Chain A
Amino acid sequence: MNVHGMAAIYRFEMARAGRTLWQSLVTPVITTALYFVVFGAAIGRHMADMDGVSFGSFIVPGLTLLSVFMQSIFNASFGIYFPKFVSTIYELLSAPISSLETVIAYVGAAVSKSIILALVTLATATLFVHVRVEHPLLMVLFLVLITTGFCLMGFVIGIWAGNFEQLQIIPMLIITPLTFLGGAFYSVSALAEPFRTITLFNPVVYLISGFRWTFYGVADVPVWASLAVMIAIIAVCLAVTGWMFRTGYRLKQ
């Protein structure tokens, strides 16, 4: 196993995040904090409780995940896309490092950044709304699984993307709408049929529901279903990544 190679990639990626701290941490935290201020502290007090939880507190897990989804994809996709863009990818392809080690290093760094972002965002939320975590260990476990899934997805997008515009398409046009329609601001049980049933086809619903359950013990779907969706996302993205490396898709000629 090329431990030094993995460590070099991990350090490189973390150093890049350090150089772009405003973009990778401060900006998303401020943006999410504004949501807490507007929807939590300002509007939230006039809203009815959701599943017995005040509206301001209810939206914290979903909004945190919205930010985590986006940054996980951006961090991981940029990490592998940029060497392709500036042609330094030759070094990675010619190094004695396996595809699995490469994925672990790049995705590991992106997951670390996303978890730091999530924890800072949650800490910021406590400044504006009341936040309690009923299952802290499971909250961390779910956070690790969710960020791993989305960082893997970002990695796949980074390999697939042929230009910067394509890097943005999936997070902006697919993930953001799915998150807004996935119960970030409301409980699925509040929806009328057939929208309630249709919503259940949105995988993000399961992620937000499961993550919210670790906070307040309330969920729109069974917790095991949330866990299954998290693992399924990881499995699918790992399979696609493995195929990309095996065939050299958009990596090798």
Chain B
Amino acid sequence: MSAILSIRGLRKSYATGVEALKSVDLDINRGEIFALLGPNGAGKTTMINIACGIVTPTEGEVLVDGRNWQTDYRHARTRIGLVPQELSTDAFESVWNTVSFSRGLFGKPRDAGKIETLLKRLSLWDKRKSEMRFLSGGMKRRVMIAKALSHEPDILFLDEPTAGVDVELRRDMWDIVRDLRRDGTTIILTTHYIEEAEEMADRVGVISKGQLIAIDEKKALMAKMGRKTLKITLSDPVEAVPAGLEEWNLVLEDDGHQLCYAFDSNAERTGIASLMRRLSELHIGYKDLSTRQSSLEDIFVQLVHAPEKAA
């Protein structure tokens, strides 16, 4: 798949001495939903702001469809829409005016029909005459999306799109994002709601301390880094992991009622069959078995915090 956006050797050091990005390389494929995960201060927003021209990088470049985003800034910026994390709006403007303003600012002629379609699609039509200051946080978030889409960009950056919104609205946002992708828009979203990335993303990148530490297809990442856990619910609780089961590194949980065995589901030998045989040999009875696949959240925590633990 061809890259619609390429980031090459991007580095950003702020005047305060903070190194927000340390030589990041990243390709975003046309038409995908790419989730950029990272803890607060990891460099997600800095990367987006550089790509959108809001922050000046210390080094590196961004290519939009192969064209440099600074020397060919009109081409790049016309293609990109940004929904920032903060709800920054003109409090005294009406919804209609503020969305129309954005369309004009990005070089598109006035088109009442297109604005109407956009506002209806985002369930904002009834609020078109309302001043921004009278809207709820969720509605403001929708207006921010409408503003970003008003010039019909084919790359959309969503910086923490569901931060601080309720569950229902979050689901609505996800539907909107899926609709946009269906229409061919490439979406790059940053989030620290791992559930959001797990739900929507085609590919996932994990950024920590200014460095991309993992990037892959979501399913591949989960298969590669994910582990499964076998939970054995015992017939009778035990006080410690029974002798003779050392080689499986079992963990005792639920006040001695459950033995947990973490295994690699992709390995040729998972060790489950031998474990079950040994339990039988030791006359340890069990009444239930279940497995659990580690989530993207587990992988994220493992990626971001493993180096800290190792240190």
A residues with a Cβ closer than 8 A to B are 2, 4-5, 7-9, 11-12, 15-16, 19, 86-88, 90-97, 248, 252-253
Contact = CB atoms under 8 A, between A and B. Distances in A.
A19 B131 CA distance: 13
Given A4-B105, A5-B105, A94-B80, 10 more contacts: A5-B107, A7-B104, A8-B100, A8-B103, A11-B101, A11-B104, A87-B88, A90-B84, A91-B105, A253-B55
Interface in B1-60: 14, 49, 52-56
A108 B166 CA distance: 43
A10 to B, nearest CB: 10
Given A19-B92, A252-B56, A4 B86 contact: no
A96 B77 contact: yes
A96 B151 CA distance: 11
A4 B108 contact: yes
Contact of A86 (B14, B88, B97): B88
A16 B74 CA distance: 27
B: interface residue count bin: 35 or more
B298 interface: no
B52 A248 contact: no
Contacts of A19: 92
B55 A252 contact: yes
Contacts of A248: 56
A90 B54 contact: yes
A4 B55 CA distance: 24
Nearest to A253: B55
A5 B49 CA distance: 20
A226 B130 CA distance: 48
Contacts of B91: 86
A94 B86 contact: no
13 contacts: A4-B107, A5-B104, A8-B103, A86-B88, A86-B90, A87-B84, A88-B90, A93-B53, A94-B80, A95-B107, A97-B107, A252-B55, A253-B56
Q: Kindly name the residue among B14, B54, B88, B102 whose own CB sees the greatest number of chain A CB atoms within 10 A.
A: B54
A19 B14 CA distance: 39
Interface string B104-126: 11111110000000000000000
B84 A8 contact: no
B64 to A, nearest CB: 11
A203 B252 CA distance: 85
Contacts of A11: 101, 104
B82 interface: yes
B89 A88 contact: yes
Contacts of B100: 8
Contacts of A92: 105
Q: Kindly name the residue among A12, A92, A96, A248 whose own CB sees the greatest number of chain B CB atoms within 10 A.
A: A96
